[in-house]
Structure 1
Amino acid sequence: MKKIFALLTMLTLALSVSAFRIEHGNNVAINQPVNENLYIAGGTITINAPVHGDLIVAGGTIVINDTVTNDILLAGGNVTFNGFVGDDIRCAGGDLHIVKNVTGDVVVAGGKVMIDQGVEIGNLLLSGGEATLNGKVKGEVKSAVGNFTFNGSAQKLVCRAGKIDFNGTVMGKTIIAAPEIVIGSDAIFHDDVRYWNKQGSLDFKQSLKNGTAIFDPSLKIERGGWHVLGFSLLGVLWFIGMAFLMIILLQYFFSPTMKNAGDTFITDSLKSLGVGFLFLTAFPVLIILSFVTIIGLPVGVILLFFYIMALLFATTITSVVVTNWIHNRKNYKWNFWQLVGVALGIFTVLKLISFIPFIGWLFMLIMACIAFGAILLNIQWRREHQQPEVIE
């Protein structure tokens, strides 16, 4: 707890010396200019005025209709970037649509990604189910997607996909690999092309201007190997890697708490369920109340951050608690890395269960509530005071 308190203190000091603004709610609209960093969490979010700072936003439907001077860090369901961005975009979501220029780089993971014609961006790192690039990338494109349609231009291109429709221009070297590659009549390659497709040959028509095309078997993609449950392999590996790292941190720094929570997980499951449900529902009220005063605002920001992190890593946290319950109940003698490995396996199973409509979501909600409750019941919130000495 001392480490957590010290971390909270440092974050509070950092936030107190920087200008920021926080908005939240089911429907959030920004209609006046914002001259500091902007943090938003909500259902439907619309930004109709310039943000002269960073934009950190999480929501269901997000529409950005005006300029963001600095970076954008975003997570959402349906997202439209309809305003100029003065620095980088890093985002994850369902449907992502970029309509205006981005001065910096774009790092994006989504189910469907669209970059419009006339849009200019720096570099592009792309992962998703379906992506269409109609604009101009002034630097390099790296992508691993299901279906990739390239109608724009780039300096360099590295793309692995299930299918590639190529009808754009690449000034530098190109690497493309997919079971199916279609080269359109408007495709132009100004340098060498290394490629792999299922047929083992490809008609480049008149697209090769200064370089040559080389079939490279080392680029081979095993059929279905780049997609898991509709997600690109790059996205899946990144997701599992983040979960693996979080499991290591939880088990290393909070091993006693997780061990005790494992005992409580089943032996006092009903109480844990109640406490966990109270945490998920009542904690946001505490956050809102902390925003009421200027003194409590930095603390509110920190609480909001940790609450969002708890929700994002709910499956990871649950998997660690369940692993410790199994370890304790069976009296196994697992070492640290065995615990981590089992937790990662349980995380994978829980994540697969969560894909089941309704039943999976309900199951995961109950499991997460029990896990959160078990952890909260085993945190030592204050020291036990020594009994006063009795003087006779």
Structure 2
Amino acid sequence: MAGMSDVEQVSCEKKPRSGLAEGAAYVLLLVGPFIMNGMLVLFGSLSHEFAVDPSEVMVAITAFMVPFAILQLISGAISDVVGRTPVVFCGVALSSLGLAMSATSTSVSTYAGAHIIMGIGWGFINPAAIALITDLTPPESVPTKMGIIGAVGSIGVALGPFAASIILTHSWRWFYASLFFVTLLVLPAIAFSRNAGTARAVGSGMRVFLSYVSQELRRPVVLLLMLMGFMFAETYLATVVWTSRALTGLISDTVIGNLLMISGLVAAVVGVVAGWLTKRRGVRLPLILGITTLILSAIVLTSIDDLGNPLSLPRVTAALLVVAVAAGMLYPTSIYYSQMLAPGKRGALAGLLMSAQFIGNALIPVLFEPFYEVGIRVLFEAILGASILYLIVSWALYRRAPLKSQTTP
């Protein structure tokens, strides 16, 4: 079959089971996007607290995202070598420290420094936690678990800003303090769980980690997967970010927040469905449904002349719901690819995929600002073009690695 040489065979050996470790991994994959999106609501209170302009507080986003994206290039490979548990434990410990520092910050510089530490921590956690869940899952159930991972991430995205807005009625510090206590509860669950992932060649040090990454980067199928992750940011996430930006000042922030929350919850539900479809039908149907809805949402948005017109709100809402379906289908599918292309290096591949996606996140303002300056329709036409490019990349990846159903005939 064409492309199957790009996929290593999945081992059929019995997997170790550790419900405690798996549950802790899901919690961490929820808390990460919960923090990243929740902090967006805090900027007004933080700027008042630190007596600075809100734009100065936004440096915390960069402080978090840069180490978070870069570390994932190697942290997944490290977990392939030394095992998942030590890497996740180290990441949780660092993230807990960053959360404690954030909760007690007295200046924007200490607040940004705390987010650097958190970004490093979650850079270790993200790919290792994904690979940990796969390690503990029988091969036939991996698609379902990837759907759950996608749903958990979408719930974090949806509920982070909502929860932060409620906590702000007391103090922004409680946002970080409450999550600090959550990570403290996760630490013993990770520490006392059975180490997952095969530890090997530890004595070779950094050369082993880098060899894992360099070997995978030479595979065209891996480069296509990374490009797929990057384009996910420039399509779905760009749609959410720039629609929110365009609506700011035209409708109330509460309405915008509610739209984004509903969109995130829709993506969560669809993510579970995507895992179920992948298990029974393979990746082809989720890819078709995801890309079709991705392009459809961009077409709807390009048809809107005046976002501020109340009559346009139903179409904007429809576009956000449709693009949520796209995210729910495509995100779990890309994670599934990262876990199946090379099962012995699934940590490395998860790290490469996530790093590419979050580098894409960081570039969304830079890449789309020029189009926004020309006009909102031009902006959404650019996102439509990016969606078509996503279609091309996904088609090329599927041709090389047409992952099939995990159910027996």
- TM tier, smaller: under 0.3
With structure 1 as the length reference, what TM-score do the two structures score?
Answer: 0.24
Structure exhibiting the larger radius of gyration computed from Cα positions: 1
Normalized per residue, the structure richer in strand is 1
With structure 2 as the length reference, what TM-score do the two structures score?
Answer: 0.23
**RCO comparison, higher one (Cα < 8 Å, 6+):** 2
